[in-house]
Amino acid sequence: MKLRNIAIIAHVDHGKTTLVDELLKQSGNFRDNQRLGERMMDSNDIERERGITILAKATSVIWKDTRINIVDTPGHADFGGEVERILSMVDGAIVLVDAAEGPMPQTKFVVGKALKVGLRPIVAINKIDRPDARHEEVVNEVFDLFAALDATDEQLDFPILYGSGRNGWMATNPEGPKDQGLSALFDMVLDHVPAPTVGEGPFKMIGTILEADPFLGRIITGRIHSGTVKSNQQVKVLHGDGTQLETGRISKILAFRGLERQPIEEAQAGDIVAIAGLQKGTVADTFCALDVTEPLHAQPIDPPTVTMSFIVNDSPLAGTEGDKVTSRVIRDRLLKEAEGNVALKVEESDDKDSFFVSGRGELQLAVLIENMRREGFELSISRPRVVLKRDESGTLLEPIEEVLIDVDEEYSGTVVQKMSERKAEMVELRPSGGNRVRMVFYAPTRGLIGYQSELLTDTRGTAIMNRLFRAYEPFKGEIAGRTNGVLISNDQGESVAFAMWNLEDRGAMIIEAGVKVYAGMIIGIHSRDNDLEVNILKGKKLTNIRAAGKDEAVKLTPPIRMTLERALAWIQDDELMEVTPKSIRLRKLYLDPNERKRFEKSSKTAGAA
């Protein structure tokens, strides 16, 4: 059967997964009476909850006499490593662009990678039915973007489709026809995307996606570069430097057929398949016949920019809510994650009780923490720090990001002020319609940690911020951190509503009444800039005197909810986030007040020196 391999790439929320749903439905993959959900490719629990794609996934449809393998990719910059790997597996790409928002930072990132590997993208202007759609301007912006990314003349001559993925139609004209569904898109893929190029020689395949199956073990997905592979065939795995990792037998070859994976006996060069049966082979390794000696070249991946420490939980409540608490199980879980996620890097500390995990951004690491938490792990997590470097001359470099903020015009002054405090440099300011402006900044990554929630507060929830790693540039200097101190519990027990009520003028609480606390645990945000130890266990003195007004009802202000991402961004260097399957607690690094004072003194001395 004829083959086409394509990826759908776009910025977050531009409609990739919804379009894949429609492609599957209209290609006849489902029975007429089959019950279908939304965003069928987002199979992971966290993907469904957050409404974003985190893992790249493959599917396939048949149109006319051709099988089209489709790879759905994440749109968030933190998961860009998934997209970079996928592009080596396909021969074409559909670049989806929102008809109102136009090309966004992640569009720029993925298109740049696609053009670099020589793909000739098809541009689909999606959500054409939006009331604020401006498709003509967006097409010009896409052309300017391609030109800025040094596209060749062939790549600049891209075909354009207009339509609505949710309503299930695409056409070469913005007006339609709307009654022919996505047939124009299917036909464009057959005409514009070349058939897979097939290499010479025996079986070779580069691993692109790694996953675990409870029955089949490790499953590696990739595109067969050359030759054919059969079930039960003996193969070997070569590392990028040519060293042999293992030899083994392929127990199953799985082909993508709609949403299902079906076992097949033999797979040909050019097809995207998943193979099972090997124990060590992972992403970017070459799976090949026994007589092959040269590995295939894997696409280089951009380096991680943010790191945080995963520490064994040593709080007084350790082990009371989770069952995976030792350094050995935490180490095994992190190494397993780093194996399949090439954008993640794990290093062990000298004391063996903590691990430095580096990734593309806070969201990528927050998703990893959330997954581990659901699996029963207990951890202490440090504040995210940026990965700094030095160049040949010894100059300290830090990661700089391109930040695009869409905001109502009335709040633009506040945003500019807050971004300048974070050492950001504005490079563009233009109206984006409907009394909104679009601002582009170049800002240090460390200044953006924790800014998302502050931005939403400053703009009454109307701002949209998108970020993309730009480059390493000279260190921009110190950035002022959090301005408020914290309220710290001075004893262990359960928080009492009466004590919390009396402490309300000291600051806002982040816990509720009746919650287990311990000495050194953070229970609130102080209204001043210093930390304050408080007694949150103090109950009301009971007497036998009854008087009017003696027994007023205790009315507590609702606490500030600390979500995983908000807590990560809010804590300081001398604080930790304790994560368990049931709770997220904040605590001081040193629980003992005397140790805290010694640490503060030593920090001030080091700072003065």
271 is in an annotated binding site: no
Contact assessment for residue 585 and residue 315, using Cβ atoms and an 8 Å cutoff: yes
Of 192, 208, 12, 172, which is closest to residue 108 (Cα–Cα)? 12
**65: three-class secondary structure by DSSP:** coil
Using CA atoms, how far apart are residues 240 and 84, in angstroms rounded to an integer?
17
Residue 108 annotated in ligand binding = no
CB neighbours of 429 closer than 8 A, spacing ≥ 6? 412, 437, 438, 439, 440
Whether 140 has a binding-site annotation, put simply, is no
Query: In the chain, count of helices (H) and strands (E)?
Result: 15, 36
Of the candidates 383, 375, 393, 260, the one whose C-alpha atom is nearest the C-alpha of residue 322 is 375
| Cβ atoms of residues 116 and 151 within 8 Å | no
Give the whole-angstrom CA distance, residue 226 versus residue 209.
18
Cα separation, 128 vs 207, in Å, equals 37
Helices (H), ranges, 382-444: 412-421
14 marked among binding-site residues: yes
| Cβ proximity of 42 and 53 under 8 Å | yes
* Token pair listed for 339: 């194996």
Find the radius of gyration of the CA atoms of the chain: 27
Residues paired with residue 319 on neighbouring β-strands, in sequence order? none
Residues 505 and 482: beta-carbon distance below 8 Å: no
Structure tokens at 100: 């109102």
129 is in an annotated binding site: yes
Q: Annotation-wise, does 127 bind a ligand?
A: yes
Cα–Cα distance for residue pair 280/285, rounded to 1 Å: 10
For residues 149 and 111, is the Cβ–Cβ distance under 8 A?
yes
**Is residue 107 part of an annotated ligand binding site?**
no
The token duo for 383 is 């504040």
**Residue type for position 583:** S
389 annotated ligand-binding residue: no
Q: Is 322 annotated as a binding residue?
A: no
Check the annotation: does 2 bind a ligand: no
Binding residues for GTP: 13-18, 126-129
Binding residues: 13-18, 126-129
